[in-house]
Amino acid sequence: MPLAPIFTRLGLIGIGLIGASLARAARQFNVVGEIVCHDIDPQARRTALDLGIVDAAYDQPQAAAAEADLVILCTPISAYGEVTAAIAPSLKPGTILSDVGSVKQAAIRDIGPLVPEGVHFVPGHPVSGTEQSGPEAGFATLFDSRWCILTPPPGSNRGAVDRLSEFWSRLGSRVEIMEARHHDYVLAITSHVPHLIAYNIVGVVDDLEKVTESEVVKYSAGGFRDFTRIAASNPIMWRDVFLNNREAVLEMLGRFSEDLTALQRAIRWGEGDKLEALFTRTRKIRREIIAAGQDSDEPDFGRRQAQAAAEEEATPDR
Amino acid sequence: MPLAPIFTRLGLIGIGLIGASLARAARQFNVVGEIVCHDIDPQARRTALDLGIVDAAYDQPQAAAAEADLVILCTPISAYGEVTAAIAPSLKPGTILSDVGSVKQAAIRDIGPLVPEGVHFVPGHPVSGTEQSGPEAGFATLFDSRWCILTPPPGSNRGAVDRLSEFWSRLGSRVEIMEARHHDYVLAITSHVPHLIAYNIVGVVDDLEKVTESEVVKYSAGGFRDFTRIAASNPIMWRDVFLNNREAVLEMLGRFSEDLTALQRAIRWGEGDKLEALFTRTRKIRREIIAAGQDSDEPDFGRRQAQAAAEEEATPDR
């Protein structure tokens, strides 16, 4: 027998890649009753309705938030303050208000002070995504086997945290509770700085005078193409991430630049042993990521990889 | 009717990922008669024989080169001089000698002066690979739809270049002829620097005190995991690439660091418009890579993606 819905009405504020994936997953796994949304872009609202992934799409955020018992902000971080101010008067007591943004201290700073009494604010961050944008890019298994981090501020309602955890679990996610500051520090290195570096190298390539675009495209299989994927992610979302996680990102960038300078020096002076030592050390973490099933967005890929790795280890003479 | 073999005997010096893939592809596409190999590692020779991908595996390189009419060096670049000196006396006149290394000026510098009269030296570089190493990692479709760059020095035998081009074409590759210096410059940015940056960020993560390894693995789906893949590549091969393409790599690293410093400054001073402008510009090249079918190592992926992109463009109202 399928499990019963946890929420009566899910209100999604913003129906891009993440909002649309939430709508699809919440419906497929029967986690909510009704699903409504708001988006500032009329085309996105129309697409969401055409795809049949929401029951209603409103041009005002308060219309999507009123009567909902779970409201999730899926907008860029820079819209949080304005959107929360708009919906606050319509939120029913007992409603859970959450978000999916990549910087949790900023969510607490911008949303927290505007949350009405009786509404439970539990910030969240599903660590998953693709380089695609827009409601047509959403898919129901985006959160499957991925981690979702909740960062409830001190004094948060325990029951609300538990219900939101259950919501994400039902979508296939593994849920972790973490302090917002630590979240932002960990994500700076596992997500934010990798994106910045990818954007940066794609920019360097774009500026080269002696290499044609056609050459770059043809020979991108040598490694560059892996960077272009994440450098194709939503520009506004990522702008907001960097502006709002400044401290942690700058610390990580400082470390990155120091180490890169040391590598540069090793290349200039022909210190092959230093290069080899680093290149050998970095192989280990790859194996762990594969073993943990975090290697691909393809839903069953992780499990298959982990199984293959286990079988390989069990094979003698390898 | 299948095409006839182009060469009677292929001698592979080194039977790692690339050598083993060449052996499998050459057999599958019926491009050569016999296939023999040398590897300095007895285990690799044994594996190649056990897999049935070579007809013989010799512990001396000259044994694999004698009687071959195509000899391809598939060793790390640092072994080129020694190996060429060892096989040179055994090479038959008319034999084509090639390699698969990622730095072509170094191949010409280390191999060129040792090539006996009557032997045709045509350096080559298939722009494809995976992060795996060893003969068991090889597969026949590794070169399918990828580019193979040949960099014949001035005065090279035209017929030899044509025959080697045909060899690679028959394995599924698209062949390009290029000047060695330009090759090294283009590959520095499409392959070498991306690898160095990936190795570097994985090293930074490994050194962090406040983030556990388990956290890195769990949240690597946020972007970091894409870097760990290429940072798991063969350490010796990559050490040699950086030591041998020093000039071009250092130039590209200089540009990368300058641009990264500018981004760092934009983040520190909250210049969102600069970030957004870069992040928007970098999306374009991704679309071109997908359209060119260079998006994935999965053999048919590129063609499917290109087709899907064409269909999407043909769909109105998107």
Tell if the CB–CB gap between B201 and A256 is shorter than 8 Å.
yes
Using a 10 angstrom Cβ sphere, with 0-12 exposed, 13-18 middle and 19 or more buried, the burial of residue A126 is buried
Triad A6, A10, A13: Cα angle to 5°: 150
Contact B120, B84 (CB under 8 A): no
Q: Name the DSSP class of B114.
A: G
Alpha-carbon separation of residue A167 from A29, A126, A300 (angstroms): 10, 12, 21
How far apart CA B225 and CA B229 sit, in angstroms, is 7
Q: Which domains does chain A have, with CATH numbers?
A: 7-178 (3.40.50.720), 182-281 (1.10.3660.10)
What is the pairing mode between strands A147-150 and A96-99? unpaired
Tokens at A247, concatenated: 């401290």
Distant-in-sequence, close-in-space partners of A58: CB < 8 Å, separation ≥ 6: A36, A37, A38, A45, A64
Among chain B residues, the shortest Cα distance to A312 is held by: B136
Please tell me if residue B301 touches chain A, with a CB cutoff of 8 Å: no
Grade residue A296 by pLDDT with cuts at 50, 70 and 90: low
Please tell me if residue A241 touches chain B, with a CB cutoff of 8 Å: no
What per-residue confidence (pLDDT) applies to A149?
A: 98
* Average pLDDT rounded to a whole number, residues A126-141: 94
What is the pairing mode between strands B96-99 and B120-121? parallel
How far apart CA A156 and CA A139 sit, in angstroms, is 31
How far apart CA B150 and CA B47 sit, in angstroms, is 29
Chain A CB contacts of B282 under 8 Å are 198-199, 202-203, 206, 228, 231-232
Using a 10 angstrom Cβ sphere, with 0-12 exposed, 13-18 middle and 19 or more buried, the burial of residue A259 is middle
Q: What is the pLDDT of residues B213-255, one digit of tens each?
A: 899 989 998 889 889 988 999 999 999 999 999 999 999 999 9
| Interface list for A 194-233 with B (CB within 8 A) | 194-208, 210-211, 213, 215-233
How far apart CA A250 and CA A258 sit, in angstroms, is 12
Please say if the pLDDT value at position A2 is more than 80. no
Tell if the CB–CB gap between B211 and A189 is shorter than 8 Å.
yes
Q: What is the pLDDT of residues A45-65, one digit of tens each?
A: 999 999 999 999 999 999 999
Please say if the pLDDT value at position A161 is more than 50. yes
Question: Tokens 């096989």 — which residue?
Answer: B87
What per-residue confidence (pLDDT) applies to A209?
A: 87
Q: What is the pLDDT of residues A187-229, one digit of tens each?
A: 999 999 999 999 999 999 989 988 998 899 899 988 898 899 8
How far apart CA A40 and CA B306 sit, in angstroms, is 32
Chain B CB contacts of A236 under 8 Å are 276
Please say if the pLDDT value at position A152 is more than 70. yes
Chain B CB contacts of A235 under 8 Å are 276, 279-280, 283
Please say if the pLDDT value at position A102 is more than 90. yes
A contact test, residue of B131, B197, B240, B247 with most A CBs within 10 A: B197
* Average pLDDT rounded to a whole number, residues A8-21: 98
| Interface list for B 139-198 with A (CB within 8 A) | 146-147, 149, 176, 182, 185-187, 189-198
What per-residue confidence (pLDDT) applies to B306?
A: 43
Alpha-carbon separation of residue B176 from B32, B140, B149, B179 (angstroms): 21, 21, 5, 10
- Average model confidence (pLDDT) for chain A? 92
Alpha-carbon separation of residue A240 from A8, A11, B116, B272 (angstroms): 32, 23, 62, 8
Query: Between A and B, how many residue pairs show a Cβ–Cβ distance under 8 A?
Result: 314
Contact A124, A149 (CB under 8 A): yes
Grade residue A293 by pLDDT with cuts at 50, 70 and 90: confident
pLDDT average per 10 residues of sequence, chain B (318 residues): 91 98 98 98 98 98 98 98 98 98 98 98 95 95 96 97 98 97 96 95 91 90 88 94 98 97 98 96 87 64 43 42
How far apart CA B308 and CA A42 sit, in angstroms, is 26
What per-residue confidence (pLDDT) applies to A129?
A: 86
Tokens at A39, concatenated: 């988006």
